[in-house]
Chains A and B, each alone.
Chain A
Amino acid sequence: MLINRSAVLGAMACAAMLVSWSAQAQINLTGSWRSWVDQDNKIRLPGPDFDTFMGLPINAAARAAALSYTPENISEVDRQCAPWPVHYIVVGPFPLEIWPTKRLDGSVLAWNIGGSIDRLPMTIWMDDRPVPGPQAANSASGMTIGHWQGDTLVTTTTHIHDGYIYRNGVPNSNREIFTMFITRHDNWLTVTGIVHDPVYLTAPYVLSAVFSIDPTLVVGSPSSMDSTCTPEEEADSAIGNRVPSYLKPPPDILNYTTKLYGIPQEATLGGEQTMYPEFISKIAGQYRRPQGYCTVDCCGSQGSDGKSLMGYNLKVLMCNETNP
């Protein structure tokens, strides 16, 4: 029986291509992704209040560290150009710029996520390279490896240096392991981050952020950190090797959130129990609904202009604040 060798070879080539394509069936994440900060808006955009640790599974040490933190801390000359740690992707407000680093054969060696003006781009190595040893140095972006789990890119970051989870001084340690699940749904991107920190957290801290692709978005150069940063003397308290901190948290700001929103301090000071829905019923009796209209950050920092918060009925939310 004569066999058409060309046909067989062609079929084999097609099969090989299909297998190859299937083995590398990766979602293309390339592009500029607009950040929708209506989720955790208060935390991600204006930043949490001094005493707001609700929903964070922090331990007593983390709480104590945060309560001694002042914003003048980041005015230290050596700290002004220090970027936020890698988990800022889901804690911060900025868009994402995602681009691949490719091998000569076109396959993806690494994914890179930039886009923030104050976070170093992260590189997600896709080549199963070994993780550096425990003695290796840390950095803000850490060392990240990734793999595809179905259509979701799963990343693991280690070697993150000591920093902050929240901008009000809730710390992370250099033992943190940060995991992300990055899933694309057409033009939407869901990024779920999990912070594991055996030093400051009693349970994994899970949070997510949603982004939409936007070709018109200008996020600067791909890395966004291809820029200069020149520190200046900003605050008297941070000059000359002085380190700003509260010896004791001042009472007026220790109760800030409680006074403003009527939320009991048991909740505002956070802890693992405040993550779970049943905690609401536990503190329900202590909650005092503020009288009258809310005045500060009731509906996110973009509040009352009615334009920035997509789809919300601002009258229902009683957003009549005037932002400073």
Chain B
Amino acid sequence: MKPIRESHPGPWLRAMTTRVGATVMLWGAGLSAGLPLAGQAAEQPPDTPVAVAPSLQLLAQPMAGDQATWQLPAEYSSSIGPVSVLQVRPDIYMLTVAGVNVAVETGWQATVVIGTAPAETCDALIAAVKTIAQAPIRYVVDTNVRADRIGCNASLAQAGHGFVRTPLGFAAPVIAQQNALMELIRSGPQSYAAAAIPSEVFTLPVRNMYLNDQAIQIFWMPAAQTDGDSMTMFRRSDVVVAGDIMDELGFPVIDLAHGGSIQGELAALNRLLDEFAVSVSPKWQGAGGTLIIPGRGQLCTQTDVLNYRDMVTVIRDRVADLVAHGASLDQVQKSEPARGYDVRYGANSGKWTTSDFVAAIYQSLMAEKRGVKK
């Protein structure tokens, strides 16, 4: 980590005039095909029943014009009860309920639900999933085990139909990274139904599956928000479910008590940028590329992830500079290291305030300085 310092306006003034580094040349070929339009059907066996509610018929209309390939296809959401449903790709939906996003991938073999929602929303969530599902819920994937993220584990699992019979019958298995299970055990699993407890844990860096004719990869993101976070990549659909590592509406929650760290959070965001989220290069960015479903907020593109990663990095750098100069937490808070970003991402009240975020960075960096192993 190296804070950036500048003392001379020379580079600034030079760069203000023209971009000289990027190689730009006319490309005579026609425009690329762009993203598949909402409503284009995924490949599936012809005998697979497809249930689409009348309220979702709008989703089936290709609304973007053929010529506007520099624009993302217009994505129209519909509502099923209190659940907002946005079709991200032909086979992937982003469901929003009680302010959190839940990803659903559905095809001829399986419906996979990634990240669940607060317990009080389960009935509505299940109704929405069943409306769009082309096959039974086969798996539920936990992106972390925060209470608002596993509240519907049991309900969804029991509403599903796993491939194999277990002591819980044919309930859909709940997949999570092993540390997530351990965190849940430490926090008191007795408060959850048996079906809510992750039943398929993985210890390797990635858990691979191949369902609905596409590779599904669940990557462990160590010591990010917690030490049991994961991101899920749908390779054919080119969609990443980032979970709460990417919160389009707020600063990321760094849960130090459960193994989270600012460096792990940034490592996860950098990995998302470096390995998973790709823009439309060598075309100019802005239309298409990988789509990212964040834990909260709007559907994202690589540009959104880049902005978010930069924001977290800049605030981390500011706090790190103060830590390097021996500042106390109080001094760090008074210097307002989240300045410039607090209105966009911060909060002065609620479960996770700007002060909480700054304190978490400070404590995480201090722990690193002391050599505390995560």
Chain A interface (Cβ < 8 Å from any Cβ of B): 46-47, 50, 59-68, 70-76, 78-83, 101, 109-110, 112, 117-118, 120-121, 123, 125, 129-130, 132-141, 143, 161-162, 167-168, 171, 173-174, 199-200, 220-221, 223, 225-232, 234-235, 237, 241-247, 250, 252-253, 256, 301
Cross-chain pairs A/B with CB under 8 angstroms, 30 sampled: A61-B340, A61-B342, A61-B343, A61-B344, A62-B340, A63-B340, A64-B339, A70-B4, A70-B12, A71-B12, A83-B286, A101-B65, A110-B67, A120-B287, A132-B76, A132-B77, A136-B299, A137-B299, A139-B72, A141-B70, A141-B286, A161-B303, A162-B307, A225-B70, A225-B286, A228-B27, A229-B22, A232-B23, A246-B4, A247-B318
Q: Given A68-B314, A140-B285, verify A135-B84 contact (CB < 8 Å).
A: yes
Q: Given A64-B340, A252-B7, verify A133-B76 contact (CB < 8 Å).
A: yes
Task: Indicate if the CB atoms of A138 and B301 lie closer than 8 Å.
Answer: yes
A-contact 0/1 string along B1-31, CB 8 Å cutoff = 0111111110110111101011111110011
In the bound complex, what is the Cα–Cα distance between A172 and B88 (angstroms)?
25
In the bound complex, what is the Cα–Cα distance between A246 and B5 (angstroms)?
6
In the bound complex, what is the Cα–Cα distance between A250 and B4 (angstroms)?
12
In the bound complex, what is the Cα–Cα distance between A72 and B281 (angstroms)?
20
Task: Indicate if the CB atoms of A136 and B286 lie closer than 8 Å.
Answer: no
A-chain residues with CB within 8 Å of residue B2 when the two chains form the complex: 242
B-chain residues with CB within 8 Å of residue A301 when the two chains form the complex: 17
- By beta carbon, the residue of chain B nearest A66 is B340
Task: Indicate if the CB atoms of B71 and A143 lie closer than 8 Å.
Answer: yes
- Which of A66, A161, A247 has the largest number of chain B CB atoms within 10 A? A247
With both chains docked as a complex, state the minimum distance between the C-beta of B277 and any C-beta of chain A, in angstroms: 9
B283 within 8 A of A: yes
Q: A65-B339, A229-B22 are in contact. List 18 more A-B contacts (CB 8 A).
A: A70-B4, A73-B310, A82-B286, A82-B303, A112-B67, A123-B70, A136-B75, A136-B77, A141-B286, A143-B71, A162-B344, A225-B286, A228-B282, A229-B282, A232-B23, A242-B2, A247-B318, A301-B17
In the bound complex, what is the Cα–Cα distance between A133 and B77 (angstroms)?
5
- Judged by DSSP, the binding face of A is loop
With both chains docked as a complex, state the minimum distance between the C-beta of A227 and any C-beta of chain B, in angstroms: 5
In the bound complex, what is the Cα–Cα distance between A271 and B56 (angstroms)?
45
Task: Indicate if the CB atoms of B273 and A78 lie closer than 8 Å.
Answer: yes
In the bound complex, what is the Cα–Cα distance between A50 and B26 (angstroms)?
32
Q: Given A242-B4, A250-B6, A252-B7, verify A132-B74 contact (CB < 8 Å).
A: yes
A-contact 0/1 string along B276-295, CB 8 Å cutoff = 00010111111100010000
B-chain residues with CB within 8 Å of residue A65 when the two chains form the complex: 339-341
- Which of B4, B23, B279, B282 has the largest number of chain A CB atoms within 10 A? B4
Task: Indicate if the CB atoms of B342 and A135 lie closer than 8 Å.
Answer: no
With both chains docked as a complex, state the minimum distance between the C-beta of A83 and any C-beta of chain B, in angstroms: 5
- Which of B23, B291, B300 has the largest number of chain A CB atoms within 10 A? B23
With both chains docked as a complex, state the minimum distance between the C-beta of B101 and any C-beta of chain A, in angstroms: 8
- By beta carbon, the residue of chain A nearest B69 is A223
Task: Indicate if the CB atoms of A50 and B71 lie closer than 8 Å.
Answer: no
B96 within 8 A of A: yes
Q: Given A134-B298, A256-B9, verify A232-B3 contact (CB < 8 Å).
A: no
With both chains docked as a complex, state the minimum distance between the C-beta of B267 and any C-beta of chain A, in angstroms: 9
In the bound complex, what is the Cα–Cα distance between A240 and B244 (angstroms)?
24
Task: Indicate if the CB atoms of B23 and A50 lie closer than 8 Å.
Answer: no
Task: Indicate if the CB atoms of B284 and A225 lie closer than 8 Å.
Answer: yes
Q: Given A72-B11, A139-B286, verify A118-B19 contact (CB < 8 Å).
A: yes
With both chains docked as a complex, state the minimum distance between the C-beta of A72 and any C-beta of chain B, in angstroms: 7
- By beta carbon, the residue of chain A nearest B342 is A61
Residue in B15, B283, B300 whose beta carbon sits within 8 Å of that of A137 in the complex? B300
Task: Indicate if the CB atoms of A46 and B22 lie closer than 8 Å.
Answer: no
B-chain residues with CB within 8 Å of residue A47 when the two chains form the complex: 16-17
Please give the number of chain B residues whose Cβ is less than 8 angstroms from any Cβ of chain A in the complex: 77
In the bound complex, what is the Cα–Cα distance between A261 and B353 (angstroms)?
41
With both chains docked as a complex, state the minimum distance between the C-beta of A128 and any C-beta of chain B, in angstroms: 12
With both chains docked as a complex, state the minimum distance between the C-beta of A308 and any C-beta of chain B, in angstroms: 15
Task: Indicate if the CB atoms of A227 and B284 lie closer than 8 Å.
Answer: yes
- By beta carbon, the residue of chain A nearest B313 is A243
In the bound complex, what is the Cα–Cα distance between A249 and B287 (angstroms)?
34
Task: Indicate if the CB atoms of B19 and A80 lie closer than 8 Å.
Answer: yes
Task: Indicate if the CB atoms of B26 and A220 lie closer than 8 Å.
Answer: yes
With both chains docked as a complex, state the minimum distance between the C-beta of B218 and any C-beta of chain A, in angstroms: 23
Task: Indicate if the CB atoms of B71 and A123 lie closer than 8 Å.
Answer: yes
Task: Indicate if the CB atoms of A161 and B281 lie closer than 8 Å.
Answer: no
With both chains docked as a complex, state the minimum distance between the C-beta of B86 and any C-beta of chain A, in angstroms: 5
In the bound complex, what is the Cα–Cα distance between A169 and B365 (angstroms)?
28
Task: Indicate if the CB atoms of A225 and B299 lie closer than 8 Å.
Answer: no
With both chains docked as a complex, state the minimum distance between the C-beta of A240 and any C-beta of chain B, in angstroms: 9
A-chain residues with CB within 8 Å of residue B304 when the two chains form the complex: 137-138, 161-162, 174
B-chain residues with CB within 8 Å of residue A50 when the two chains form the complex: 9, 12
With both chains docked as a complex, state the minimum distance between the C-beta of B36 and any C-beta of chain A, in angstroms: 14
With both chains docked as a complex, state the minimum distance between the C-beta of B268 and any C-beta of chain A, in angstroms: 12
B-chain residues with CB within 8 Å of residue A234 when the two chains form the complex: 21
With both chains docked as a complex, state the minimum distance between the C-beta of A275 and any C-beta of chain B, in angstroms: 20
A-contact 0/1 string along B147-173, CB 8 Å cutoff = 000000000000000000000000000
In the bound complex, what is the Cα–Cα distance between A50 and B70 (angstroms)?
31
Q: Given A129-B74, A136-B74, A245-B314, verify A70-B306 contact (CB < 8 Å).
A: no
In the bound complex, what is the Cα–Cα distance between A121 and B69 (angstroms)?
10
In the bound complex, what is the Cα–Cα distance between A176 and B178 (angstroms)?
42
B-chain residues with CB within 8 Å of residue A125 when the two chains form the complex: 65
In the bound complex, what is the Cα–Cα distance between A219 and B275 (angstroms)?
36
Task: Indicate if the CB atoms of A139 and B343 lie closer than 8 Å.
Answer: no
Task: Indicate if the CB atoms of B21 and A232 lie closer than 8 Å.
Answer: yes
- By beta carbon, the residue of chain A nearest B346 is A61
B-chain residues with CB within 8 Å of residue A134 when the two chains form the complex: 77, 298
